[in-house]
Amino acid sequence: MEKYRCIVCGYVYDPEIGDPDYGVSPGTSFRNLPGDWVCPVCGAPQDQFEKI
């Protein structure tokens, strides 16, 4: 699965880890994140992420 980086702060969403603090299970691809998920570091919306 592909990783995505926040272009605002540099946070990398790794689907192998997910985002347990938000309730996103490991194995969740970026495309399958909940619509209201935002960068856990800076709060940027998903459209501020780029595939790396």
Q: Is 10 annotated as a binding residue?
A: no
How far apart (Å, rounded) are the C-alpha atoms in residues 8 and 23?
23
Check the annotation: does 51 bind a ligand.
Answer: no
DSSP assignment string, 15-49? TTT-BTTTTBPTT--GGGS-TT---TTT---GGGE
Binding-site residues, please?
6, 9, 39, 42
Binding-site residues for Fe cation, please?
6, 9, 39, 42
